[in-house]
Chains A and B, each alone.
Chain A
């Protein structure tokens, strides 16, 4: 059948498209020269077309809200209880204020009055309870997933009065309030939440209280949003009142990156999502806006498996930590919009501290550590110990487009140190099957992940309380376990800050985690006529505040 034609054809098609559109782009820039700048006058209304590389799979809210694709639409159709800006600062939104008890196990949320879903029903305490319940538990037996990263300590929520919600946890959960601003925590009408999965999967049935509503959508093609005229409860932090300025927002799928950028260049669209970083230089010179917001979360890096050779030896791990030239990665694979890692969490996370000195490139020290560990260099440049070569297999993260190029550089750098590095690249499906944290054949697990609150870190360090145990240490490292427990049980951010700092230093020193770079997972190329765009803590562009210039 036609659909089983080999991938090679698709690659040829993609390559040809790229070549042709690039040639068209060059022709256009040769004659046009420079971007069409706005005249500085703010337009009322207007339509923005956002070209996106995929519209993801399903539209079941719980299953799609944290997607890099559908998340854009959810951010405009639905509101959240709190707003978290790109520096992790939490401020009121649908929740006007909140309190917590002394041990951070009980929270009380006070809701704004007069907020309504687009079907007219109120966003009241009952609606919020229904949302909290489904975020925490989902309905797995009905195909509705829980929200990834919602605190596992959640016990229950109850409506005290129409505008007050009380939420209980079975352990201190400082991360609860920030998590309410996480992209997964979108408020939807209880009527929507009660629908079966296949009806929730129809975007037209998903009713939110956001500044835009779904005007039309076509599966795998486009979503058209139009502004809600009676919207008047945007986040205070955004400095914009009343309804959105733009009339419509169209998210249109265009799979080929160079076609997306060429369309913005020719004025057929205003935003191209996820352009190739290498393509952006000329656009910047012509006055286009390149936005590279960072999400709050873990940087991109390797979680090393401490139970398998050669990483069962701390000296070998430390050699890798010192043997990677992070600056070269930034210069080669990325643009100046990417920042060097300062810790294993992004530097905009409240509580992240600067540990750059621990991540300095020092090949001599790295080689000395390997010598000390007994790995001696052979004639072919590969180190061996007891006849065994210092072999390492890297598995590029298929969810991250630049991962393979980064791994190739790392392989080269570690190769210079005497490692025999092999790169095994899998597609998403095969990767899911073969590569996992703690798998004995996966010595280095490449990972990055967004989170809202630094407390999340406690959940990945060890296997305490069902922790993810990224480094496969179990509870064999008492200091790590202790630091993790202290972070988890903190009842205030002030109390937590010094512990977090110590923890970051310790994890990097033991080289449990080897950071590569801070991560920009959402990249935007934007027409210079589009202004006022804001980016939240998970790096989604928000067009509630945006406007076009004439």
Chain B
């Protein structure tokens, strides 16, 4: 009987989890669809469109009839709500449409540049983590005057915009020292410096959280006990303080995803890289609606997925997180209890 109850309980728990997952997924889908429609409406209220501006360039000298036929090809002659409905029906079938500016499929445009942005964002994240941990390590293990200076770094990094850092890096390392070429913007050296420009502000947030938590852990009894037993500072840091202090970093990293994507726009433009950021910049200036909608959806998806992943891996990292509590929040206890009681009876 016990065996049956356990397996049944597990099934109920997994059913609860499925419901939880379904609810979360439905929320995510709604967020994505709303983002898609919202972008459409916001851009629709702007005057003009990319096609008409080009067609009416006096150099072209088209007749009005030609202009109207071409506008009809792009579907821009129809009322906004019809355009939205058509875009939405395409979107739910997985078709992101054609770019109005380049005439290429939006999926292809994004596919072409996504890797570049991911490489930049990924490298920036690595740079940020290395920097943050180095600063945090320094604050606990370096001689006091140095540690004090290091503690000021996060606020300094946070207050300098990434484009200023980028321009300084280009000026010093590309033009003065010749360490990388502006032309070879996707090369390893240029990518490294772009990642540094993007990673520095992110490292500040991580370092701040890390330092605060290290300070907190260092005040705990177990740390004092370990020190009194003669453990060296660095050994205490690596063996006892680091792991518990690192947990909140996971949450901060999830929050910085937005910063990495947003910062990529500026960093890519400054370093002349292709990527989602520079694609957005070109699309905004030409009101390329399908591309902008797709990028907004992509950003929404990234946020939703990252947050979901963090929710899912957190319990694995920290046994103190009560999973049952998490499930119960979603599925009320009253739904579950009668079944369990029934099963017990």
Binding site for B on A (CB under 8 A): 1-4, 9, 12-13, 16-17, 20-21, 23-25, 27-28, 49, 51, 57-60, 63, 66, 138, 140-143, 145-146, 148-149, 197-198, 200-202, 218-221, 252-255, 259, 262-263, 266, 268-269, 399, 428-430, 432-433, 436-437, 447, 449-450, 466, 468
**Which residue in chain A gives the minimum CB-CB distance to B280?**
A3
Given contacts A2-B265, A57-B102, A252-B183, contact A428 B53 (CB under 8 A): yes
Contact A20 B272 (CB under 8 A): no
Encoded as 1 (CB less than 8 Å from any A CB) or 0, chain B from 187 to 215 comes to 00000000000000000000000000000
* Residues on the A chain within 8 Å of B78, using CB: none
**Which residue in chain B gives the minimum CB-CB distance to A269?**
B183
Given contacts A198-B103, A268-B181, A429-B47, contact A146 B62 (CB under 8 A): yes
Contact B175 A221 (CB under 8 A): no
Contact A58 B101 (CB under 8 A): yes
Contact B55 A13 (CB under 8 A): no
How many Å lie between the Cα of A182 and that of B62 in the bound state? 17
Min CB gap B285→A, angstroms: 9
* Residues on the B chain within 8 Å of A60, using CB: 103
Min CB gap A202→B, angstroms: 7
**Which residue in chain B gives the minimum CB-CB distance to A2?**
B262
* Residues on the B chain within 8 Å of A436, using CB: 56
Contact A57 B54 (CB under 8 A): yes
Contact A57 B286 (CB under 8 A): yes
Contact A447 B58 (CB under 8 A): yes
Q: List 5 A-B contacts (CB under 8 A).
A: A20-B171, A145-B55, A218-B112, A255-B272, A433-B48
* Residues on the A chain within 8 Å of B339, using CB: none
Contact B61 A259 (CB under 8 A): no
* Residues on the A chain within 8 Å of B93, using CB: none
Query: In the complex, which of the residues A145, A252, A259 contacts B60, with contact meaning CB atoms closer than 8 Å?
Result: A145
* Residues on the B chain within 8 Å of A253, using CB: 272
Query: In the complex, which of the residues A21, A220, A266 contacts B279, with contact meaning CB atoms closer than 8 Å?
Result: A220
Query: In the complex, which of the residues A16, A23, A59, A148 contacts B62, with contact meaning CB atoms closer than 8 Å?
Result: A148
Contact A1 B53 (CB under 8 A): no
Among the 9-residue stretches B24-32, B68-76, B227-235, the one with 4 or more Cβ atoms under 8 Å from chain A is B68-76
**Which residue in chain A gives the minimum CB-CB distance to B284?**
A3
Contact B105 A198 (CB under 8 A): yes
Contact A3 B292 (CB under 8 A): yes
Encoded as 1 (CB less than 8 Å from any A CB) or 0, chain B from 125 to 163 comes to 000000000000000000000000000000000000001
Min CB gap B214→A, angstroms: 32
**Which residue in chain A gives the minimum CB-CB distance to B163?**
A13
Contact A262 B299 (CB under 8 A): no
Query: In the complex, which of the residues B57, B74, B292 contacts A143, with contact meaning CB atoms closer than 8 Å?
Result: B74
Given contacts A3-B284, A219-B274, 16 further A-B contacts (CB under 8 A): A16-B164, A20-B171, A24-B171, A143-B70, A145-B55, A145-B62, A145-B70, A148-B61, A197-B103, A219-B102, A219-B113, A430-B48, A432-B48, A432-B52, A436-B56, A449-B61
- Tell me whether B287 is interfacial, beta carbon within 8 Å: yes
**Which residue in chain A gives the minimum CB-CB distance to B55?**
A145
* Residues on the B chain within 8 Å of A140, using CB: 66, 69-70, 73
| Interface range, B side | 35 or more
Contact A259 B73 (CB under 8 A): no
Contact A430 B104 (CB under 8 A): no
- Tell me whether B282 is interfacial, beta carbon within 8 Å: yes
Given contacts A16-B164, A24-B171, contact A198 B112 (CB under 8 A): no
How many Å lie between the Cα of A23 and that of B171 in the bound state? 9
- Tell me whether B96 is interfacial, beta carbon within 8 Å: no
Contact B183 A263 (CB under 8 A): yes
Given contacts A145-B66, A220-B278, A221-B274, contact A198 B104 (CB under 8 A): yes
**Which residue in chain B gives the minimum CB-CB distance to A521?**
B59
- Tell me whether B167 is interfacial, beta carbon within 8 Å: yes
* Residues on the A chain within 8 Å of B270, using CB: 13, 17
How many Å lie between the Cα of A21 and that of B60 in the bound state? 36
Min CB gap B287→A, angstroms: 7
Contact B272 A27 (CB under 8 A): no
Contact B175 A266 (CB under 8 A): yes
- Tell me whether B220 is interfacial, beta carbon within 8 Å: no
* Residues on the A chain within 8 Å of B262, using CB: 2
Contact B274 A220 (CB under 8 A): yes
Query: In the complex, which of the residues A66, A201, A221 contacts B103, with contact meaning CB atoms closer than 8 Å?
Result: A201
Min CB gap B102→A, angstroms: 5
* Residues on the A chain within 8 Å of B281, using CB: 3
In the A-B complex, the 5 residue pairs with the closest CB atoms: A24-B175, A201-B103, A2-B262, A140-B69, A429-B48
Contact A268 B182 (CB under 8 A): yes
Q: In this complex, which of A12, A23, A266 has the most chain B Cβ atoms within 10 angstroms of its Cβ? A: A266
Contact B167 A16 (CB under 8 A): yes
- Tell me whether B266 is interfacial, beta carbon within 8 Å: yes
Contact B175 A138 (CB under 8 A): no
* Residues on the B chain within 8 Å of A148, using CB: 59-62
* Residues 248-291 of B contacting A (Cβ, < 8 Å): 261-262, 265-266, 269-270, 272, 274, 278-282, 284, 286-287
How many Å lie between the Cα of A219 and that of B279 in the bound state? 9
Min CB gap B289→A, angstroms: 13
- Tell me whether B176 is interfacial, beta carbon within 8 Å: yes
Contact B59 A198 (CB under 8 A): no
Contact A66 B59 (CB under 8 A): yes
How many Å lie between the Cα of A450 and that of B280 in the bound state? 32
* Residues on the A chain within 8 Å of B9, using CB: none
* Residues on the B chain within 8 Å of A1, using CB: 296, 299
* Residues on the A chain within 8 Å of B49, using CB: 429
Min CB gap B274→A, angstroms: 4
Query: In the complex, which of the residues A201, A221, A432 contacts B56, with contact meaning CB atoms closer than 8 Å?
Result: A432
**Which residue in chain A gives the minimum CB-CB distance to B259?**
A2
* Residues on the A chain within 8 Å of B296, using CB: 1
**Which residue in chain B gives the minimum CB-CB distance to A143?**
B73
How many Å lie between the Cα of A221 and that of B109 in the bound state? 12
Q: In this complex, which of A16, A25, A59, A220 has the most chain B Cβ atoms within 10 angstroms of its Cβ? A: A220
* Residues on the A chain within 8 Å of B53, using CB: 428-429, 432
* Residues on the B chain within 8 Å of A437, using CB: 58
Contact B266 A13 (CB under 8 A): yes
Contact B72 A141 (CB under 8 A): yes
Given contacts A145-B62, A432-B48, contact A13 B269 (CB under 8 A): yes
**Which residue in chain B gives the minimum CB-CB distance to A298?**
B58
Given contacts A198-B103, A219-B102, A468-B61, contact A254 B50 (CB under 8 A): no
- Tell me whether B98 is interfacial, beta carbon within 8 Å: yes
**Which residue in chain A gives the minimum CB-CB distance to B46?**
A429
How many Å lie between the Cα of A515 and that of B181 in the bound state? 43
Contact A198 B101 (CB under 8 A): no
Contact B101 A57 (CB under 8 A): yes
**Which residue in chain A gives the minimum CB-CB distance to B101?**
A57
Min CB gap B58→A, angstroms: 6
Given contacts A16-B167, A57-B101, A201-B104, contact A399 B265 (CB under 8 A): no
* Residues on the A chain within 8 Å of B282, using CB: 220
Given contacts A2-B265, A16-B164, A145-B66, contact A449 B175 (CB under 8 A): no
* Residues on the A chain within 8 Å of B265, using CB: 2-3
Given contacts A1-B296, A13-B269, A259-B182, contact A141 B163 (CB under 8 A): no
Contact A466 B112 (CB under 8 A): no
Contact A219 B59 (CB under 8 A): no
Min CB gap B283→A, angstroms: 8
How many Å lie between the Cα of A149 and that of B60 in the bound state? 7
Q: In this complex, which of A200, A428, A430, A450 has the most chain B Cβ atoms within 10 angstroms of its Cβ? A: A428
Min CB gap B35→A, angstroms: 9
* Residues 62-97 of B contacting A (Cβ, < 8 Å): 62-63, 66, 69-70, 72-74
